[in-house]
Amino acid sequence: MPVNPDLAGRVFPPASPYLVGREKIREFSRAVFATSPLNHDPEAARAAGYSDVVAPPTFPVVIQEATLAQLLAEPDAGIDFSRVVHGEQRFESSRPIVAGDELTATLTVASVKSLGGNAMVTARSEIVDETGAHVVTATSTLVIRGEDA
Amino acid sequence: MSTAPDISTLTVGDVVAQQTYSLSRDSLVRYAGASGDFNPIHYRDDVASDVGLPGVLAHGMLTMGLAVQPVVDWAGDPGRVVDYTVRFTRPVVVSPADGAVVEVSAKVGQVDAEAGVVRVDLTVTFEGATVLGKAQARVRLA
């Protein structure tokens, strides 16, 4: 089944809120070779004006993940996960994520394009905090290789 | 916040950071656990081979995640990176015994003194070829 072009513009229900833990930020920081004291040490983070440890710039992918799972599971999407390649990624932040944040992500399919035998789906997840204020937008472009590609 | 680099001293083309990262299979397992991305092409040779890959690959998001760290260290605060974008153009194959070495070079691509924002362009290479395209971080310095 090819990728459904009618996906473009579709907005998914918000994912369950994600509570950002201090140890999760530390674990993720170690995994991406992040050594800034602000990623690991609450005292250093407070001294720099934050309420707790600060997440690395790519941490929002952890929160975005649940929304991409919604997209891949959409019955009429026609996205075969075994043919998906991650093409592009972007994070646009209004403020950094810190431990203690409770964040909610909502996915919108920004575009569906055909290119050669492949399809390109751009999915934008808007991540807001418990007050509804924008924190970061995580945008993924997924390339779905065609049957013959 | 800690002291940021002085934007008035920066010129397009300045190399602000360089770093070399050695990835092992352990690095991939660690990233899988931390990120929740358990696609087996990142830790199982048989699965990677079955889908036609040259070997087990590093997660693209691991490469993206580590490539910005020299910029974070230069800027002095991870919160100063306000926009970060990459294209994944070539995979990083991680050998079970020898791992993989990824090199990152960060240079000033644009200075917007009025907005207090600098665009830093990243060159990320593995075995002499770039693995990320159009890798750009916008950093707020003032």
Neighbours of A117 (CB within 10 A): 12
Task: Check pLDDT > 80 for residue A147.
Answer: no
Q: How far is CA B54 from CA A24, B47, B132, in A?
A: 32, 11, 18
Closest chain A residue to B73 measured between Cα atoms?
A: A36
Is B85 inside a domain boundary? yes
Residue range B69-97, pLDDT digits in tens: 999 999 999 999 999 999 999 999 999 99
Contacts of A86 in chain B (CB under 8 A): 60-61, 88
Task: Check pLDDT > 50 for residue B125.
Answer: yes
- Distance (Å) from the C-alpha of residue B142 to the closest C-alpha of chain A? 15
Angle at A119 between CA A116 and CA A124, to 5 degrees: 140
Q: Which residues contact B141 (CB under 8 A, 6 or more apart)?
A: B4, B5, B6, B7, B75, B80, B116, B117, B118
> Domain A5-20+55-144 belongs to what architecture?
Roll (3.10)
Task: Check pLDDT > 80 for residue B1.
Answer: no
Closest chain A residue to B78 measured between Cα atoms?
A: A56
Q: Which residues of chain A have a Cβ shorter than 8 Å from any chain B Cβ?
A: 24, 27-28, 30-36, 38-39, 48-50, 54-58, 61-62, 65, 82, 85-93, 95-96
The sign one gets for the Cα dihedral A68, A19, A53, B141 is positive
pLDDT of residue B57: 97
Which tokens belong to A145? 């290789």
The CATH number for B65's domain is 3.10.129.10
Task: Check pLDDT > 90 for residue A143.
Answer: yes
Contacts of B21 in chain A (CB under 8 A): 33
Task: Check pLDDT > 70 for residue B5.
Answer: yes
Residue range A70-79, pLDDT digits in tens: 999 999 999 9
Q: Which domain holds residue B63?
A: 7-23+59-140
Closest chain B residue to A92 measured between Cα atoms?
A: B83
Nearest CB to B64; choose among A58, A92, A96: A58
pLDDT of residue A77: 92
Residue range A115-124, pLDDT digits in tens: 888 999 999 9
Nearest CB to A54; choose among B33, B37, B78: B78
Residue range A27-74, pLDDT digits in tens: 999 999 999 999 999 999 999 999 999 999 999 999 999 999 999 999
pLDDT (average), residues B18-45? 96
pTM of the model: 0.96
Nearest CB to B30; choose among A24, A30, A55: A30
Is B11 inside a domain boundary? yes
Strands (E), B24-116: 81-88, 100-112
Task: Check pLDDT > 90 for residue B28.
Answer: yes
Q: Which residues contact B81 (CB under 8 A, 6 or more apart)?
A: A57, A93, B68, B71, B72, B75, B137, B138, B139
Which residue, chain included where needed, has tokens 């707790």?
A: A52
Contact A46, B52 (CB under 8 A): no
Q: One-letter amino acid identity for A37? A: P
Is B70 inside a domain boundary? yes
b (16+ CB within 10 A) / e for B34-50: bbebebebbbeeeebee
Is B38 inside a domain boundary? no
Is B34 inside a domain boundary? no
pLDDT of residue B103: 98
pLDDT of residue A83: 84
Q: What are residue A76's phi and psi, to 5 degrees? A: -100, 10
Is B44 inside a domain boundary? no
Mean residue pLDDT across chain B? 96
pLDDT band at residue B2 under the 50/70/90 scheme: low
Residue range A101-118, pLDDT digits in tens: 999 999 999 999 998 889
Contact A61, B35 (CB under 8 A): yes
Domain total in chain B: 1
Distance from chain centroid for Cα B98: 20
Give percent above pLDDT 90 in chain B.
95
pLDDT of residue A82: 79
Assign residue A70 a region (left: φ > 0; alpha: ψ between -120 and 50; beta: otherwise).
Answer: alpha
